[in-house]
Chains A and B, each alone.
Chain A
Amino acid sequence: MAYLQRLGVPLRRVAMQSRVFAASYHEKVIDHYENPRNVGSMNKEDSDVGTGLVGAPACGDVMKLQIRVDGDGKIVDAKFKTFGCGSAIASSSLATEWVKGKTLDDAGEIKNTTIAKELSLPPVKLHCSMLAEDAIKAALKDYKGKQDKMESTC
């Protein structure tokens, strides 16, 4: 809704309503889009950052999920960017919220079914949650790869 205020366009009573028209979207999915949390980028060259880039533009779904891990193996920050439908955006946004504060192993346990349940995704959108799980795993793999490389060069 901050949207409309920014626009400053005089409209016929559109500004006040916060409920949305799309019958098939769950409120939580809308919320992740309208109030995005953790949208952004980290420097992927940083040694404590793991980047997962999954999906394909040809499929209409691309997610980039990045995690920053501290010395104790705990994820302290996460950022995402997504090219995809509302459910894909919500799934990846939720993924970044959930990985924050978790250890690498716990983050790897996050399942697409839990994401789907939290967002009440309809069956046709389940693949969005699967891609989010893949994105988490890809970020973890990338981070581990960096750690292994660093150890081998030390």
Chain B
Amino acid sequence: MSRLGVLLWRDLRAAGGLSRRLHDSVGRTAPPALPLERSEVPESSNYGIRPLYMDVQATTRLDPRVLDAMLPYLTSLYGNPHSRTHAYGWETEEAVEAARKQVADLIGADSREIVFTSGATESNNMAIKGVARFYKAKKSHVITTQIEHKCVLDSCRALESEGMDITYLPVGKNGIINLEELESAMRPETSLVSVMTVNNEIGVRQPVEEIGQMCRSRKIFFHTDAAQAVGKVPVDVNAMTVDLMSISGHKFYGPKGIGALYVRRRPRVRLEPIMSGGGQERGMRSGTLPAPLLVGLGAACELAGREMEYDHAHVSAMSERLVKGLTSRLDHVVRNGDERQTYPGCVNLSFAYVEGESLLMAMKDVALSSGSACTSASLEPSYVLRAVGADEDLAHSSIRFGIGRFTTEEEVDFTMDRCVASVNHLREMSPLYEMVKEGIDIKSIQWSQH
């Protein structure tokens, strides 16, 4: 295993992140000292150079320590954790329960309240559809926001077609919901409120503690999609008075294809399962538990719990560097989402008069994401930006920068330099910028729509 470990460390170094972090390891002996000059990153044969990865909201790389934890269960310990009659089952079941405890500890829950799923999408589906359907007879109203993840919105739409009533709360210009509006939307027949903790596009953090209190006092269940928050900011299900919480493994350096749903036991939350089968996970989610993925998720949780303060300080510093660097060297830059009540690792900026997809093409050496219509198959600009009230042309000009545990200062500086150069180049090519320079008010022009 150590040989593989060495390869991983070196690969990660070359990708530019780990030199400062070698001393933190998961209770193992320190990894072997490696030469400090960077080795070559293998080039993909089809696509040329590998870009810098600045899209951590989309997914994160596996922390090598997580892979270390997973490997035995991908190689020799391959038993089904539900096999009760032999050692293969017993050893994997032990690992699964240990992982369950690690997940529970990170969010302040009890092991028995964790249900493993295939990811946050499934967790969201389970929470929303499961709870709403279970209590459908007496309560048929659900409240959510307009900036939730698509899986939440689509689950609500599915409930609507089943005859339930859904309220989609609007958000303010800073992306945060209005608590008075939420209160007035609550009715006696409301069974569930679903508000995400940290938004994946603009990074804003909703006031979940207050929402939790409001829901508890009215005996309404509170679900939060914490996929972008868990492992990055402190999350405690009791401090937040949360009844259901969705967790996604691959958002905080864990494996893809695994997630969890926290389901509170006191007061008891009942839900109708989506997956029928052998009754695993207390009947809430049938299916063989993927031991390697679970062990990975557990390891990721433990690491996150230990290193959260360090990571947060690092990410905040890098984020400030990026934002200050860009706003000081470019004008007409708008930050989407609140500046303070936000997760610093998600920076969404609109560069006026420059279209997002062309900027991404210009910055091809950095992997980023945009809210522009041209980057979506449906040609619709991001609904989150629209809900936040961004002008339509600014919605087309938005870029999301993601900063994570392994992002280095050099990567941030490179991204900044490329961004400034590309934006200036594209503004030279932009008729809108030309008009603005001439003093024409773009909003006053009659455009030929088509």
0/1 string, A44-66, CB within 8 A of B gives 1: 00000000011111111111100
How far apart sit A109 and B48, CA to CA, in the bound complex (Å)? 38
Q: What is the chain B residue whose CB lies nearest that of A29?
A: B361
Q: Decide yes or no whether A83 CB sits under 8 A from chain B.
A: yes
How far apart sit A81 and B432, CA to CA, in the bound complex (Å)? 9
Measured CB to CB, the closest approach of chain A to B132, in angstroms, equals 35
Q: How many residues in B have their beta carbons less than 8 Å from beta carbons of A?
A: 49
- Among A19, A20, A33, A62, which residue has its beta carbon within 8 angstroms of that of B432? A62
0/1 string, B385-424, CB within 8 A of A gives 1: 0000000110010000000000000000110011001000
For chain A, what secondary structure do more than half of its interface residues adopt (helix, strand, loop), or is it mixed? mixed
Q: Decide yes or no whether A149 CB sits under 8 A from chain B.
A: no
A9 and B414: CB pair below 8 A? yes
B393 and A58: CB pair below 8 A? yes
Across the interface, which residues of B come within 8 angstroms of A82, CB to CB? 429-431
Q: Decide yes or no whether A150 CB sits under 8 A from chain B.
A: no
Measured CB to CB, the closest approach of chain B to A1, in angstroms, equals 11
- Among A9, A23, A81, A134, which residue has its beta carbon within 8 angstroms of that of B430? A81
A63 and B431: CB pair below 8 A? yes
0/1 string, B1-31, CB within 8 A of A gives 1: 0000000000000101000000000000000
Q: Decide yes or no whether A41 CB sits under 8 A from chain B.
A: yes
Q: What is the chain A residue whose CB lies nearest that of B425?
A: A3
B432 and A12: CB pair below 8 A? no
- Among B48, B360, B362, B432, which residue has its beta carbon within 8 angstroms of that of A83? B432
Q: How many residues in A have their beta carbons less than 8 Å from beta carbons of B?
A: 48
0/1 string, A129-144, CB within 8 A of B gives 1: 0110010001000000
- Among B41, B46, B425, which residue has its beta carbon within 8 angstroms of that of A12? B41
Take A22-B361, A58-B393 as given contacts and tell me if A9 and B432 are in contact as well, using a CB distance cutoff of 8 Å: no
Q: Decide yes or no whether B184 CB sits under 8 A from chain A.
A: no
Q: Decide yes or no whether B268 CB sits under 8 A from chain A.
A: no
0/1 string, A79-118, CB within 8 A of B gives 1: 0011111111100000000000000000000000000000
B358 and A85: CB pair below 8 A? yes
B358 and A84: CB pair below 8 A? yes
A60 and B381: CB pair below 8 A? yes
B47 and A54: CB pair below 8 A? no
Measured CB to CB, the closest approach of chain B to A75, in angstroms, equals 19
- Among B41, B49, B392, B434, which residue has its beta carbon within 8 angstroms of that of A57? B392
- Among B40, B41, B372, B377, which residue has its beta carbon within 8 angstroms of that of A60? B372
A124 and B358: CB pair below 8 A? no
Across the interface, which residues of A come within 8 angstroms of B430, CB to CB? 81-83
Measured CB to CB, the closest approach of chain A to B351, in angstroms, equals 11
- Among B38, B361, B428, B442, which residue has its beta carbon within 8 angstroms of that of A25? B361
Q: What is the chain A residue whose CB lies nearest that of B47?
A: A21
In the complex, given contacts A33-B361, A60-B373, A85-B356, what are 19 additional A-B residue pairs having Cβ atoms less than 8 angstroms apart? A17-B48, A19-B47, A19-B48, A21-B49, A21-B364, A23-B47, A33-B362, A54-B450, A56-B447, A56-B448, A60-B396, A64-B434, A82-B430, A83-B354, A83-B355, A83-B393, A86-B357, A86-B361, A87-B374
A-B contact pairs, 12 of them (CB 8 A): A12-B16, A12-B41, A19-B48, A57-B392, A60-B374, A60-B381, A83-B355, A84-B355, A86-B358, A89-B429, A124-B379, A138-B448
